[in-house]
Amino acid sequence: MSTTPRQDLLQAFDTLLQPARFKDYGPNGLQVEGKPEVGKIVSGVTASLALIEAAVAAQADAIFVHHGLFWRGQDGRVTGWMKQRLALLLAHDINLYAYHLPLDAHPELGNNAQLGVQLGLAATGRFGEHDLGFLGGRTDGGQFANAGALAAHVKKVLNRPVTQAGPAQAAIKNIAWCTGGAQGYFEAAIVAGADAFITGEISEPQAHYAREMGVAFIACGHHASERYGAPAVAAHVARQLGLAHQFIDIDNPA
């Protein structure tokens, strides 16, 4: 198995995901500098201590995640969980690459596109800020008999309980989705013409919007909705550069 310079790997991720196009909640790209040459990438959803430990055990030279370590609003102190995660990364000289919104948005390999693949949905349009929302329908052109049938389908595919709000009877043809904590995209999905909206999380207002606007809202879990983009991108880039890649899912009930 070959290796590639840390900067070339960064370049490959940047070329694919184009982070400069996004105004994000944290820095995209190389968040923690490790060894100069990378032979093996471990991908995961979140740069948690458990993922870093698993990457160490897997002898990774780089970790590629959707949720990195640094976010707007943090106070910048390296204490507690931050100290533990950073200490382990630095002790093993592991590079940490993190891409947030650019990883949600990529039209074929991103979280939204890959969740669509899992659910058998194809996008015909995009909506919302940064065009992060995907709008389309079933790949086979069919429709769901009602929101309950769609919710049951999502639950079965993701193997995760879902929360459903809004109309229960109407057939569902136009389906909008946006992974993670995208409950704030619900109103844009309604305007875009969705019969149902799927995201990871629900907050209190969305159930009312769903009932009042007649559009179903399905929350399937933040983590569960974002398990597919990081491995798709990391596998693609690893193949491109002749590197080893392994996806490690650290289960999360959220």
- The residues that touch Zn ion, with contacts defined as CB under 5 A, are 180, 226
Which residues have C-beta within 8 Å of that of residue 212, sequence separation ≥ 6? Answer: none
Nearer to Zn ion, 178 or 241 (CB): 178
> Helix H segments across the chain?
6-17, 49-57, 80-91, 101-105, 111-119, 147-158, 186-191, 204-213, 222-225, 229-241
Nearer to Zn ion, 195 or 226 (CB): 226
Which residues have C-beta within 8 Å of that of residue 151, sequence separation ≥ 6? Answer: 162, 164, 216, 218
Closest CB to Zn ion: residue number: 180
- Closest distance to Zn ion from the beta carbon of 148 (Å): 26
- Closest distance to Zn ion from the beta carbon of 46 (Å): 8
Of the candidates 108, 113, 129, which has an alpha carbon nearest to the alpha carbon of residue 22? 129
Cα gap 192→44, rounded to integer Å: 32
Nearer to Zn ion, 166 or 180 (CB): 180
Nearer to Zn ion, 144 or 185 (CB): 185
Strands 29-32 and 37-38: unpaired
Nearer to Zn ion, 44 or 180 (CB): 180
Q: Give the residues across from 42 on adjacent strands.
A: 63, 246
- Closest distance to Zn ion from the beta carbon of 66 (Å): 6
Cα gap 30→8, rounded to integer Å: 11
Nearer to Zn ion, 1 or 254 (CB): 254
- Closest distance to Zn ion from the beta carbon of 183 (Å): 12
Q: Which amino acid is at 81?
A: W
Structure tokens that stand for 63 in this block: 């970790």
- Closest distance to Zn ion from the beta carbon of 94 (Å): 21
Of the candidates 96, 109, 94, 90, which has an alpha carbon nearest to the alpha carbon of residue 17? 109
- Closest distance to Zn ion from the beta carbon of 223 (Å): 8
